[in-house]
Each structure stands twice: as structure tokens, then as C-alpha cells.
Chain A
């Protein structure tokens, strides 16, 4: 109940407010171009597609989708940076991937090329094994991993330098030896762990919930217990401070006028505060966690140094 109440309140407030903001505010007078730097139909695309209708209601103009997939989202971000910062060009992306791309030579941009409009959803990393596996708790996993440093446990991750990979690298840095294997996407990873070809998989929650009845979820890489995964401990509470999540983020080219930026933030806050949006996104496995652009800015800043270290650690240890 405590979780529903604030959102219900927000919904009521948003109903009372005039639908298209206050008079004199900036509002687009033609369609807004949205760059989706991934393939149509994927998680990031859905994040935008599922609020397409609400965007139109809120801003009075439709979104016009431009797909620029390639190089794990780096191509789209590189493209967006050169678009005019006039409020008619925005993008949806995934953090920390967008930042990691700048460190691995995939993207020709830096995080300073963007203005942040907000975070719409968080997907935390989870460590899973298949139901039949004897490694059904984090303790057993760590113990086994430490007992056989010459025949390391094979642990899949679902995206190179994505949140699951980051979580695995962090765990390894804390003294849990693993053989980290990047898999091409969540589906392949889950299939491999279910088939017994991997000892464990560091996945993200959104990609594992469908199959959760056939998996042991050993731990979740969030700061507190996860409401969707009752009884699953966090890494931190078991003595391994590992936190990693993918955030779906909304960005624009740097230099957006203040009123435009404020308008977008307010608009997105209102869109993601709506109950039907929340239930729709929760149904799609991407529950809403709205945070402001400033918060995203803080996240980016806080992660900057660690990201560099992780990439360095990764390049130094890969293939060993």
C-alpha cells in the first residue's frame, strides 16, 4: 500500500493539472525526432514506443522515430550529438552502456555532449543458476569459485560491458575468481545456463523474470531488496558490495535551452507518473523508476572514475 499511495497521489495531481502544462511554457510545434540507437522491438525501443501515445497527449506533438542501431548504441549517440539542440531532437538510451562506449573506442562522443532529461526505468543485474544446479545460494557459489581457481566457474554475462558484465567484474575484483564469458544477448545467456553449458549467468532482472521458475536467483545487485524477487538477498548484504543496473535514459544534444529542458523533465515526470503507463511498463518487464536529469547527471559523475577502472581491469584480465 505504501508503494501505491504516492503514485496514486501523483496520478491524481497530474489529472488536476492542465494537460499541456502552464501557459507561456515551451512546447513543440512540430513532431519531435527521437533517435533509437538500437534495433526496433528491443527493450530500449519499447521504452519509447510504450509512451508514444502519452507523449502526444503531453506535448501535443507526435514522436518521429529514427532508428540508428549499430555498435551497441554507439552509432546512434554519435549521431545525436551533432543534431541541433533545439528541443526537436531527443534520444532514448541505456546507461552505463552509453558511457562504456566512450571508453572502448566504439563511440565518437563524450558524456559532455548530452543534456540529461531523466531516467525512466532501472534494470538491476542478478546472478542466476539453473534449478538443478548445486550452486543454489551465493555462499555456495563463492565457496565453489574460490575452491577451484584452476578450473574456474564459467559465468556468462549478457552484454559486453553492460550492467551484468560490470556486476561480474566487480564481484571478481572482490576476490571471487570466475571465467567471465560474454554471451550475445540475454536469450542466448539464459538458454546456455538452462542447458548446463554455463555454471551461472549474470543477467538482468528484466531478461530473467520470464524464466524465473526454472532458475535459482542467487543475489541481486541493487542497494535494497527487490520487490519482484522476494527472499533474494542483495550482494551487499552478503558482504560483496556489488551494485549494477541498466538505466533507460532520455537525453538530448548538449546546449538545450533551460525552459525546454525543464519542460521535458516535467513532461516525462508526468508521463511516467501515470498509472496505466506504470502498469504497462511493469507488464513489459521494465518497471518505472523515474529520476530527474540532475539525478542522472549525478549518476554519470559518480560512475565516471569507476567505469574507467573497470574497463582497465577488464582489458587487463580478459582472456585469462
Chain B
């Protein structure tokens, strides 16, 4: 299209935005999106899908503006929970937890929240501008990515593991492989047959990524918070100039952010990649090219800003293939495409020719919506940061019940709730063995992408040769080199720095055999070996990826075992495990109570039990009628709020027992 016609179309589109109804829709959409993205277990896709029916009765332009606003808001919203309670609201915010939560622990929560907000808006604007200006060439480059390139790109994302927990590379690699292993349960992507289901029908649907994300972060994090005796998650030091500090911080790294937003936008434009991959890769890249990579993870502004900017730049990116080719770049873009289609608009090259006004209004709304997002987000940050003023023992039951609700609402499945609770417990056990849940999450997110690309590549290679396609094609060579650099540099750096300290003292000691870390690694190794056997029974392409993954689990397990054997005993902190076990039991109790009592009644009962236990047993308040009534009222209030949100707003049907 001519540049001048484009600008006039754009100007007309921007004028449409000033319509009061469109403005209102933008504010409401952003607010709904942010809240949806923030809640654990409700991903961007779910938020969009649940909001979609409301747009059917709107005119086409308004409907698209609304969906775009929800999309942007939800993509950013995940950061709030990631920073405040270390539980990313959606997979795109995993990388934000690394530095964001560190900031919260230092009392800089507000600064972190504002940074995420501003960086998200920044990335969102860059992404939308790139969409506007370059969508045709971008989509052309995106098409060059065949399955072999996707495979290596995801492997490249996986190499972030090596940098994630310095000094313990093997353990984070082990965690990543466990995550990859979890992602293989269910139907295999090649032939569509069930595997690793052990005749349990519920497992055929696989372990949902969002459920696992909720369990790995929200649930296990809540159990972890119970360990310490502090009354609050972290101290919030209110600084009057937090917003300004964040603004200055974001402005100071504007060059880095622009670069990383462009990268994020590009990754978002690849069909099938998305915010999670973009934020992980950009975090790792920005960290690697930093003068002092070690400061990352300790609460630096860039650590929050880069992944958030890239994540939101993906919004524009994922619309590139949609606008240029009519192909949705992500699950969220697919829902947006549904919105376009149901309005009678066909996405693709025809859209800009036949409905240029609608298309340009939509694209300019994506730029404008980021400004609205700063306004709405600013208010919500004020509200959200109050979470830190709430006693920990009130937050924990709330987040646990919210996670249960979120996990349930994804597929209306009580089995998913069970998966949430059990894998959450497992994730806590891994956490105690210093295998970070974030590394497992990385595996869970990238596993399906890697396997799908691998099996497609293997099948394509039947018509040529596998080495030629998977190793010696230009795209493959590029990403293989990048991955090798990314994997080896941190290992090399760690060796050079800590070489004298840890290398020389390796003395195996039989006493270590009984230590928890050793036993945990042993369990992982044995499980890996068991699943190697199971994978060997699978036929064809379906068995290849699991075989490789579980061999890695077993091999890495053995390496970790050897490391553990030679470790000097470290004095462990005294931790109150009774509370952790009890709260886990309370959460399990909810699962058992749902059928006889009804969903919300069960949530209410367990919420009150947790609140009472917290008040009387943990905080040792006096056992008075007043305190008991406070617990009861608080439990009723929170459950009611959850009920209002999920039953009325989101129309999630829940099992009924004695009562609702």
C-alpha cells in the first residue's frame, strides 16, 4: 500500500478511536484483561475466549477494539502477580519473576510494578508500530521458519536453563528435562495416539500447560511461603517517587528495550511461538550481553523491563501473520481471528484492501490502547500493591483457592485440580532439592513446541535426509551455533570464577547418601529410567522425543547424584514443615469435599479451616468468639468475591453437591 494512503487511513482510524463508546470499551477491556491476566490459572487465551461472546453484539470496529484491549491488558497483567507473589499470572511472565520478585523482597515492589507497566506499554507500542509498518516483510521472514528452525529456536530458549541458577547448572538442566517429560503425557503430536496414560482415562487429555504453570508457581510458592514465620510476604516501603524512578529506569534502557521489543515482536510473529518463548529468550539475551550478567536476578530494572516489553511486543507480532496471511500467530490471535470472522471480516491480505477502515482503526487502537493501559494499570498498581499489606496467612488460602478455581475453569475438570495439587506438592519437593520450579516450567512451555517441530522434521526427512534437514540447513546451523554459545558461556564463566572453590573439594561421603537432595535426585533418576523403558515400548516417531528426554533425565540425575555425594553438609535452616504439610492436606481436603458439598461450599470450608488454623495455631491469637467470627466472615467474603467473579462474570459452571 502507498505510504500516503496508509497514513490517511491511519489518521481516519485514529479519529474513530475518539468515539466515546470506543474509548469506554478500551478502558473496560484493558481493565478486564489486566485482572484476567493477573489471576493464576487464567491465561490470556482464556480471558479472551471468555470475553469474546460479549463482543458479538457490538459493531465490528468496537468489537475489535475491545478484543485488542483485552489482549494487551491480559498480556501485561501477568506481571503483577509475578512481581508481588512470585506467581506469574500467565506463561509470558515467567521470566519477570526472576528480578521482579527479588525487587519485592527488597521492598521495591511498587518500582517493579511500575517498571513492568511502562515497559509493557513501551513494548506494546513498538510491536504495534512494527505491525503497522513492516507486516509484509516480517511475515515473509516468518514463513522461512520451517519445523527444523522451530526445533532449534525452542532448544535455544531451553539453553536459558544454563544461566538460570548459576553454580547449579546440572540441577536446572535436570529441572528442564523433568518439565519436558511432563509435557509428553497425553496424545503424541505425531500420530495422535495416547501415551504414558497408564490406563487412566483422565490422562489422555494430557497435563495442561496452564494448570502445571499454576501448580509450579502459585501452589508450590504458597507452600514455600508457609516456611518462614514472617507475618507478611515482604515489606512494602512506599516511596513517593516510585513511578518516577521506574520511568527513569525504563527510559535509561530505552535502546535495549527497543531492540528486545523488536526481537519479541519477531518471535511473536512466528506461528506457534509466543509470549512465553519471546520473554525467556530476550531475558537471556539481554542478560548475556550485559557487562555484568551476575547482577541479573538480583532485582535489576532491566530484568523486569526486558521480558515484559518483549512479551507485550508479541501482541503486535502475533497479528503479523494474521494480517498478512490470514494465519493466526498464536492461540490468542486465533481467538481474535474468530472475532474478526464472526463479524464477517476475513483476516488476511484481503482485509486491508476490502475493509481498510476497520483494519487501520484496529491497528491504531493497538498503539493507543497502551496509553490507556498505563492509566488503568497505574490505578491497579496502587490497588494491587496493597496485597503486601495483607497478612500472609490470608493471602495463602486466597491464592490456593483461586488456583483451584482457575485450574478447574480451564477445562471444567476436577482431574485438573488434582493435577494442580499433586504436581504443586511435587514442585515444592523439587524446590527443597534446589531444582527450581521455573526450570521445570521452561521445559513444560517449550516441550510441546520442541516435540511437535521435531516429529514434523523427522517425518519431512523421509523425503530427504534427516541430517541435511535438521543439522545442515542454514536456519538450523544458525540456531545450533547460538544455542552452543548460550549453553557453554555460563558454564565456562562459572568454571573460571568458582573453579578453585568447588572443584578441589570433591570428596564422596557415605553420609550424604541419606541427605534429602541426594534422595530426591535418586528418585528423579529412577523415574527417568522407568520412563526410558516405557518410551521404548512406543512405536514410530511418538517414542523418539520421550526417549531422548528421559535419557537426559536419567543421565543428569546420575550427574547430580555424583555431585551430591561429594558435597559438604550444609547446615539447613530450621523450617516449620508441619504447617506446609497441613496446608497441603487442607488443599487436598478441598478436592475431596467438592463432590459431597459443592464447589464453592468446599472452597469456603477449606478457606475457613486455613484461616482459623492460621489465626489460632500459627499466629497464636486468643481463641475468642470475635476472632472466630472474623475468620468466618473473611472466608465468606473472599469466597463470595471468587463466586461473583467466576460464576457471574465468567460463567464458569461448577459441580454442585449439597449446595453450590
Contact = CB atoms under 8 A, between A and B. Distances in A.
A187 B271 contact: yes
B145 to A, nearest CB: 7
B271 A179 contact: no
Contacts of B50: 40
Range, interface on chain A: 35 or more
Nearest to B345: A283
A75 to B, nearest CB: 5
Interface in B180-200: 186-187, 189-194
Interface string B520-546: 000000000000000000011100000
Interface in A172-219: 179, 181-184, 187-188, 190-192, 194-198, 209-211, 213-214
B350 to A, nearest CB: 7
Interface string B348-366: 1110000000000000000
B241 to A, nearest CB: 43
B411 A69 contact: yes
B42 to A, nearest CB: 12
Nearest to A210: B326
A184 B452 contact: yes
A104 B343 CA distance: 37
Contacts of B459: 154, 179, 181-182, 319
Contacts of B143: 191, 194-196
B192 A46 contact: no
Contact of A283 (B204, B344, B464, B653): B344
Interface string B313-347: 00000000100011111010011001001111111
Contact of B145 (A49, A66, A195): A195
B273 to A, nearest CB: 11
Interface residues of B, number: 63
Contacts of B271: 187-188, 191
A104 B192 contact: yes
Contact of B192 (A72, A151, A280): A72
B460 A198 contact: yes
A46 B327 CA distance: 17
Contact of B541 (A67, A183, A187, A319): A319
A106 interface: yes
Interface in B141-156: 142-147
- Give the interface centre of A33, A41, A184, A198 by most chain B CB atoms within 10 Å: A41
A72 B346 CA distance: 26
B59 to A, nearest CB: 14
Interface in A11-31: none
Contact of A161 (B189, B192, B345, B346): B192
A108 interface: yes
B512 interface: no
A210 B348 contact: yes
Nearest to A206: B341
B48 A41 contact: yes
A160 interface: yes
B411 A70 contact: yes
A151 B463 contact: yes
A210 B48 contact: no
Contacts of A45: 49, 338
B56 A183 contact: no
Given A49-B52, A319-B459, 13 more contacts: A40-B46, A41-B338, A70-B413, A154-B460, A182-B190, A191-B321, A192-B456, A195-B143, A197-B146, A209-B346, A210-B348, A214-B325, A280-B344
Interface of A: 33, 39-42, 45-46, 49-50, 52-53, 64-72, 74-75, 78, 104-106, 108, 151-154, 160-161, 179, 181-184, 187-188, 190-192, 194-198, 209-211, 213-214, 279-280, 283-285, 318-320
23 contacts: A41-B49, A41-B52, A41-B335, A42-B334, A45-B49, A46-B338, A65-B653, A68-B413, A70-B413, A106-B187, A106-B192, A179-B460, A184-B272, A184-B452, A187-B271, A187-B327, A194-B143, A194-B325, A197-B460, A211-B325, A283-B341, A319-B462, A320-B462
Interface of B: 45-46, 48-50, 52-53, 56, 142-147, 186-187, 189-194, 201, 204-206, 271-272, 321, 325-329, 331, 334-335, 338, 341-350, 411-413, 452, 456, 459-460, 462-464, 539-541, 651, 653
